[in-house]
Structure formats: C-alpha cells, structure tokens
Amino acid sequence: METDLADNLIHRDLNWLSFNARVLQEAQDKENNPLFERMKFLAIYSSNLDEYFRVRVSQLRQMKRVEKSIRKKLALKPNKTVKQILAIVKEQQEAFGKIYNEEILPELAENNIVLVPSEKFTNIQAQLANIWFVAHIKNELETKLIDPSKDKEIFLENQSLYLCVTFSDSKKLGFVKIPTDSNNRFVDLGKVSDTYHITFLDDIIRYEIDNIFNSSTVDGVYEIKLSRDAELYIDDELGGILAERIYKSLEQRQEGQPTRLLYDAAMPKPVAKRLRKLLNLGKIDMMPGGRYHNFNDFFKFPDLTNNPKLHYTSKPFIKHRTLDKAKDFFKAIAEKDQLVHFPFMSFNYVERFVEQAAEDAAVTHIKISLYRVADESVLTTALLKAIDNGKKVTIFIEAKARFDEENNITWGRKFEERGARVIYSYPRIKVHSKILMIIRQEQDKAVRYAYIGTGNFNGETSKIYCDHGIFTAHKKITKELGRVFRVLEGELIIPRNKHLLISPFTTRRIFEKLIHNEIEAAQAGKKAQITAKMNSLEDPDMIQLLYKASQAGVKIRLIVRGFTCLIPGVEGLSENIYMTSIVDRYLEHGRIYLFHNGGDEQMYIGSADWMTRNLDRRIEVLTPIYDSDLFAELKDILVLQLADNVKARIQDAEETNAYVKQKTGDKRIRSQYEIYDYLKLKNN
C-alpha cells in the first residue's frame, strides 16, 4: 500500500484496485451468488478495469509529461504508481483467470452448458460455424496485413477486439477486427444429449483464419485489445458553447493516446515486441492476459437452459404505501414528505410525478437537472409532453458526464427543438445534483414541489443502483432549491441557504461544522458519533478532520463502497474509525450522513460524496431529513447496512478486504435483502 506518510493518506488509484478486488470476490462467492450472477461480476470487474485504464492510468501518464522539477515539488510519482498498479492488476488478472477456468467453466458444464474452443469443434460444429461465418461475419470483416520492415505503425480502435495473426513463412502480421458491434459475442452450436454447446464469435473467426488470409502458413492467432485515453482534455478557457466543443471532440475517444495493450500471454515475445513497436507503446503498457478479452460481454451470456437456479431470485417492486394509491401526487406530497428507495421500489413514482405535472393545468414550470439521460423513456416523454402542453420547462444537461456526453447533448437538442430552455455545463464545474422542482399555481400562489435524490433520473440504472429520493413541499427546502435552479439559470451567483447543503457554496463548511460539534462534545465527555455512507472518500481536509475527531474520542462509523484515502483503525490516529464496504447484488449508491449532534440527530441525503470535486467543483445538493417518520426509516436502513455480516468487508490499513465475521448466535444479515424485507413489511 502506497501512503503519504506526512498526511496518512492511501493513494486513491491503488485503493480503487482494492474496491475492484471486492467485485472479483463476488465472482467467487458460490454460497450467495448463483452461477450467472458470478459471471456478471466478472463482467463488472472487466468493465471497471477498462474504464480505470482509460481514465485514471491515462491521467498518471499525463503527469509523466510534467517537468521533473515540478513533479518533485508536488510529490508526484506517476512512474512508481503505475508500476504498483500493474503489479496489482497482474495478480488480480491471474485470480480472474483462475476463477473463470477452474470455477465458472466447470460449473457451466455441470449445468449442461459447454463453451467450445475452435480446436475442439466436432465435424457438425465446424459446419455450423462455417455457415454462421458466411451468413453473419464474412462480409463484415476488417482485415489488415502489416509488414514491420515497411510499415512503422498500425492504428487499432479503442476497446475493439482484434486477432493478431502470425505466419511461419513471413514476418508479416495479420489483424482481424472481431465484429462484436453487429454480432452477439456468443454463438449457439446446438444441443447434444441435453448439453448446450456455445462458442465465442472469436473462435468461429479463428477456425476460418486460413481462408481469411488465403494462407496455409498461419502458425499463431492471438487476441488483443487496446485501451486509449478516454479523457477529452478540453480547454475551458476557449469560450464558445461547451456542449458543442465536447460533441465535436468525442472522436478523441477513438484516437486518444494508448494506455494499455491487453494481449494473449501465449504470444511469443518477439511477436509482442514487434506489436509494441507498431503501436508505439512502452514495455509498461503491455499487459499479458488470457485467450479471450472483453469479459464485459458476459453480461449477455445466453442461458439456453432457462434454469432459474442459475440466477438471483426475482424481487418484485415494493408498492409505496402512499404513492402507489395516490391519484394526486401533489396532494399526497403536500400532506407529508414521501420517501422512495431504489431498486426496491419502482422509478415509476418519479415518472408519474412528472407525467401528472405535464398534464396538470395548474402547473406552470418544471425544472430538472439531468446528469445521465436515459434513452427514450417515460421521463423524457413526459418532459416533451409538458413542453407541448405549454409548461415552461427548464432542463439542465450535464454535457461532461463521462461516457454519456453524446447521449446527453443529443437529448438536450431534442428538448431545445421542442421549446424547452436547455442549459448546458459551465466551464470548470459539473452539475451532479439530482433535483427536480415543479411550480404549481394554487389559490393565486406559486407553490413549489420538489424531488431530491441520491441517484440519476434514469429508470434503467434505478433497477440496479441502491438510491433514495424524497418528495417534499417543505416551504423552506423548496424555496432554497428554487435558488439553486436560479444559479443554474444564471440569475444568481450564490444561493442563500440555511437548510440545504449546496456545493460548492456551503456543503464543506456545514459538514466541517457538524464534525467540529462532535469533537467538542467528545472533549466535554459527552456522547459523540458520526455515521456516514458514501461511494468514495478522498478529500484530504475532510480526512484530516475525521482523524482529529477520532483522536478526540468521536466514534466514527463509515460505509464506503468504492475507494478511500483514509486509513482506519490506526492507533493514535484513527482507532475510533471503523469502516466497511458493501458490494452485493445491487450497486450501493446512496449517500446518507448522520450526526449525533448532542442527541438532536441531524441527517442529510443527496448527491455528494466526501471528495474534493463533490465539495468544491460540482453543483451538489443534499437535503436534511425533517420528517420524523422518514428520518427513522432511513436510520433503520442505515443500521441494517452497518450490521451486514454477509456482504460487508472490513476496510483496514492492510487492505485485506476480509469479510465481516458472523458471530456465534448472531443473525445472518445480508443488508440488501434485509432492507427489502423491512420495506415490504413497512409498506403493507
């Protein structure tokens, strides 16, 4: 573990690998995760790692370009960090291969599903493979033949799969792009004696490789995949419409600087060397792997057996006790704040709220911030309907939401064309808040209704992300939220607020004040406690303040799903900080912050983690929970997560990722399942 000894901080990029190791642990958990779900965790691990190399490792590579004297002053050691990253990833990749080959493949076979490599095709399978090749692949193949003595380089598309082909009578290299964009990665080769046979698209191409190059001298076929820098590096000082510049620069994702070549470890060293030179890579950029890459395709692996035992048991949406029966959402929300929890409940409650607003003659304005816009959905349709019905619709589109820029901007243009006021990102700051406000004319007064959440307005991701959202008509909360939207609309520079936490204006200051209050209570010999759940913990100042609170005797309990730079449980520094991480069936995404506050507990939920970017460089909104019933409900959920002894891992200085042990006599608590049962009972 690399730490800054002066500040007692773990390097964020190294600890992120510890998080991805927890994902890999899920792929091993035969007791709690069915076979196809474990395969999905392999896919998640692979997808996570791809993005990590495209973004985080790319950034470290950019640091290497900084003048050495400046790097020294800033204590930047990108070379050392990259070497540590590669060593950890290599170890994890070996574990990945072992899980796949020694656990997943044998268990698939036990369930009458066999993955057949090309060299083991039977005559009938070979005929089927040839038929498939001619019908679906042959006319789409992109091939190249490179002569290293003449050709000095080759361009490979970002994240695309290729077969690199060698010949016994030539130094030339052949390249075949595997057309996974237009074909399923997995091909059904038929059922024999109750056993289903499946092969990779890659293997069908391997089987035909002699015909593809019209050569009988092919002596090696090795799969490769190149990852390129995914950051856009847009100069925000140039002026103009930021969204337009992002839209035009998206092609850089295909042409960006290479960051990693994943290649079949069976490739001979001389061939790997030739390939490295053709791609202008350094030795550090070469990552040996297995026969197959792009395991994120396992999200779509077919279950031809339709065996329910190979999947999680379905959990139907819980019907919200009030909103499900409500014919008038405005009346229900005016009477009492309403809380929803995803994926245990349907995102349809948010969609219905907007649908009703679109049709309600009394509604005058709808304002919403969209960070990751879903493809055409009930929500987007409702917003378009509201525009057609003459509502004043204001939509803030975050044009810099990584990997969603193009879709976000496309939808922004659709809304604009229909008549909405669409506002795009500001230079140097993202809008990450999950906020919606509807203004309704009631008895000659403009009444505000609001929704504030921890997750995106996206019906698809709401099915797999654990998030919370509150509907409220609280006058002070909605008034302050109105000011947030005025900031987004350029009418205010700083929003005055006493209730909401709004980044980059007050969130840091209020959190620091709340922590200092706990420190003062502990120093006075009173009960002092902080409980916080978030995705990532990185901000150095917040961490140092938590260390100070721990040293004062404040009991600090953290749940951090992703990476952390804080080192918990160190005597004299953080012995009063206990941290766990929950990785399970759903992605833990909700942020909940609870402070004992001298017995008058304060709780906030919202979009911000304790990261510098969330506190200082993004528009974030967190709301206090004032309704006593909803406060108790969220606290009960938090307590269940704190008690998890099935899927919680202990975060310690050694980054062991050890599971929380179930003590003798204790109830087995898998918090996501316990929360589902709790909410089901509560909403009966």
Report the chain's mean pLDDT, rounded to a whole number. Answer: 90
Annotated catalytic residue, options 432, 468, 474, 596: 432
User: What does the pLDDT read at residue 376?
Assistant: 75
User: Which two structure tokens, joined as six digits, stand for 581?
Assistant: 């991480």
User: What does the pLDDT read at residue 606?
Assistant: 98
- Going edge to edge, which strands form the sheet with 195-200? 113-115, 195-200, 186-192
Question: Which residues are annotated as part of the binding site for Mg(2+)?
Answer: 372, 402
Helical pair 12-28 and 78-99, crossing angle rounded to 10 deg: 0
Vertex 25 angle, CA 22 and 30, to 5°: 150
**CATH no. of 329-494:** 3.30.870.10
- What is the rounded CA–CA span in Å between residue 422 and residue 413? 8
**CATH no. of 1-111:** 1.20.58.310
SS3 state of residue 584: coil
SS3 state of residue 368: strand
User: What does the pLDDT read at residue 83?
Assistant: 87
> Confidence class of residue 76 from pLDDT cuts 50, 70 and 90?
low
Residue 331 zone, left/alpha/beta (φ > 0; ψ -120 to 50; rest): alpha
Q: What ranges do the domains of the chain cover?
A: 1-111, 112-303, 329-494, 503-682
The strand ranges marked E within 516-645 are 529-534, 555-560, 577-582, 587-588, 591-595, 602-606, 618-624
Same fold flag, 112-303 and 329-494: no
Closest CA to 32 of 623, 619, 684, 584: 584
User: Which two structure tokens, joined as six digits, stand for 26?
Assistant: 């899920």
Q: What would the pLDDT profile of 582-613 be if each residue is shown by its tens digit?
A: 999 999 999 999 999 999 999 999 999 999 99
**CATH no. of 503-682:** 3.30.870.10
Q: What would the pLDDT profile of 267-296 be if each residue is shown by its tens digit?
A: 999 999 999 999 988 888 898 988 999 899
**365 labelled catalytic:** no
> Confidence class of residue 242 from pLDDT cuts 50, 70 and 90?
very low
Q: Are strands 435-442 and 445-453 parallel, antiparallel or unpaired?
A: antiparallel
- What is the rounded CA–CA span in Å between residue 601 and residue 596? 5
Question: Which residues are annotated as part of the binding site for ATP?
Answer: 48, 465, 561, 589
Q: What would the pLDDT profile of 511-566 be if each residue is shown by its tens digit?
A: 999 999 999 999 999 999 999 999 999 999 999 999 999 999 999 999 999 999 99
Residue type, 643: A
**CATH no. of 112-303:** 3.30.1840.10
The strand ranges marked E within 80-153 are 113-115, 142-146
pTM for this predicted structure:
0.91
User: What does the pLDDT read at residue 285?
Assistant: 84
Question: Which residues are annotated as part of the binding site?
Answer: 48, 372, 402, 465, 561, 589
Residue 67 pLDDT more than 70? no
Higher pLDDT, 488 or 235: 488
> Confidence class of residue 402 from pLDDT cuts 50, 70 and 90?
low
- The 8-class DSSP code of residue 137 comes to I
Report CA-CA distances (Å) from 640 to 66, 160, 469, 555, 676: 47, 42, 18, 18, 11
Q: What would the pLDDT profile of 474-499 be if each residue is shown by its tens digit?
A: 999 999 999 999 999 989 899 989 99
